[in-house]
Amino acid sequence: MRICVLTPTEQFRNDILDVVRVFEGSGAEAVSEEEDGAALLRHTEEICGEVRRVRVEFLADGKRFESAREGKTQSGPLEDKRVHKRLIKQSVYDVCVSFYGRRPPWGSLTGIRPTRLVYMAMDGGLTPEEAAEEMRRQFDVSAEKTTLTLETVRTQLSLPRQKPGEIDIYVGIPFCVSRCAYCSFLSGEVGKGGQLRPYTDALKREIEGAVKLIREFRLTPRAFYMGGGTPTSLPGDLFEEVLEALRPLTDPCRERTVEAGRPDTLDKQKLAAMKNSAVGRISINPQTSHDATLKLIGRRHTAADTVRAYQMARDMGFGDINMDLIAALPGETAEMFRETLLWSREMRPESLTVHTLCIKHSSLLHLWEAKLPDGDMAAQMVADGRREAEARGMRPYYLYRQKYMAGNLENVGYALPGMESLYNVGMMEETADVLALGAGAISKRVNTRTGKILRAPNVSDIGHYIARTDEMLERKKTLLLSEI
Ligand code: SF4
């Protein structure tokens, strides 16, 4: 759909379009002027005393819908902006519900962290249950998604939080054996460009510098996470070198995770290296049990490779393995996703992350002009994923949403009690300080009381990262010295 938005509040134009995209998907294309065949969304408003009145008119396909809402203006500029934006978005949502004739599962929510709304309401004195109910009421969130959010918050509240003086450690290995069609991460193909050795050396320099910083600032590493890319796509000797160099940072941690996402990158040497470094949690991700889909999305392994990788890891004593699955992959039906869920039981992962396909602009799927599948089917798959996780005794412990997701749904991390990743919770909820190493990694400090976050990003380009490691360390030092 081509759509022209006329609004007196230019700063909220994208927010208005975001709401339309909840219904229309990425197909909503904004045009700057009224034109034949394009939909028109006209927003007007007025202030009478302390009341702001918002009106929205929507003309499309020869039909016309209208909505009106009002709310109190706020004395503080930041609070007023927040309330004003919400009023406009809800008015746009109202006309969209009338035009499209359906209520999306997450209602008018376009943000990526629904749990954040519950925590904000809890800060205002509500119980988790009251806060979730408030979210449901204000944003027209379905009962099912409200329960999911509440359960996620309850799990998170039962987990330990990062203490003052603690810091999480992230290491990024931006290489993979091939590029998945949906991937939007920074990842170069292993074997291309001869960057593996120079990257490993630069990373080891940065690790050495980070060890000094940890000592200088008297910090205690809490949770370690190695991601990317796929860290296990490094050749065995380089992988061992990196893990060994990391020992001063990983040894004090209470949790150590390595993404071994591609089953075809695992072997006994790498598993032994992880055992030596006391890595307790690994992630082996089949995404689907259907080989034809795996081929289509550019993953060079089969479902049988995944079963073998799990067996090898179990034989070597790994007792905490996460499995990622993706609902609504190209060409898959709800029945195929159910088959994947059944098949995955055989490997008995301790945690299960159910993603919903998302077509980001930087992905190959976007380049191929692939379309997201039907939202109802995606919702069915996601619901089946939740039922399966619950049947295995798992509970949701993190939850986030992205733009351009099938059915405008969500990604959920489920885990058996006690098997939740503290790093994941700190990362998703932005409640943990992180010292992040490697190309594209972002260090941050969080003030959980004020919500203020300071970030120090490393450069993303692998060549620049290799040449500018010292500068990346300086950025981290400045971050650690900053007042927050
Ligand atoms: S395994 Fe992950 S990081 Fe690597 S290409 Fe696929 S989605 Fe991207």
Give ∠ CA 411-183-174 in degrees, rounded to 5: 110
Task: Please work out whether the CB of residue 395 comes within 6 Å of at least one atom of ligand 1.
Answer: no
- Ligand 1: residue of 184, 225, 230 to mutate (most ligand atoms within 8 A of CB) is 230
Confidence of residue 186 (pLDDT cuts 50, 70, 90): low
Reported CATH class of domain 1-102: alpha beta
- Supply the pLDDT for residue 465: 96
CA of 303 to the centre of ligand 1 (A): 17
- Supply the pLDDT for residue 426: 97
Q: Cα separation of 370 and 232, whole Å?
A: 29
Task: Please work out whether the CB of residue 185 comes within 6 Å of at least one atom of ligand 1.
Answer: yes
CB burial of residue 172 (10 Å; 0-12, 13-18, 19+): buried
CA of 105 to the centre of ligand 1 (A): 28
pLDDT beyond 70 at 99: yes
Q: Say if CB 257 and CB 225 are below 8 A apart.
A: yes
**Of ligand 1's atoms, which has the minimum distance to the CA of residue 184?**
8
Options 3.30.300.180, 3.80.30.20, 1.10.357.10, 2.30.29.30; CATH for 166-474 is: 3.80.30.20
Confidence of residue 366 (pLDDT cuts 50, 70, 90): confident
- Closest residue by Cα to atom 8, ligand 1, is 183
pLDDT in tens, 152-170: 999 999 999 999 999 999 9
Structure tokens at 477: 């030092």
CA of 302 to the centre of ligand 1 (A): 15
Task: Please work out whether the CB of residue 180 comes within 6 Å of at least one atom of ligand 1.
Answer: yes
Q: Strand, helix or coil at 175?
A: strand
- Supply the pLDDT for residue 193: 62
Structure tokens at 375: 């939202």
Task: Please work out whether the CB of residue 187 comes within 6 Å of at least one atom of ligand 1.
Answer: yes
- Supply the pLDDT for residue 37: 85
pLDDT in tens, 383-411: 999 999 999 999 999 999 988 888 889 99
Would you give the DSSP letter of residue 70? E
pLDDT in tens, 220-251: 999 999 998 999 999 999 999 999 999 999 99
Q: Cα separation of 447 and 432, whole Å?
A: 9
Q: Strand, helix or coil at 281?
A: strand
Domain ranges of the chain: 1-102, 103-158, 166-474
pLDDT in tens, 304-351: 999 999 999 999 999 999 999 999 999 999 999 999 999 999 999 999
- Supply the pLDDT for residue 192: 65
Structure tokens at 12: 């909220």
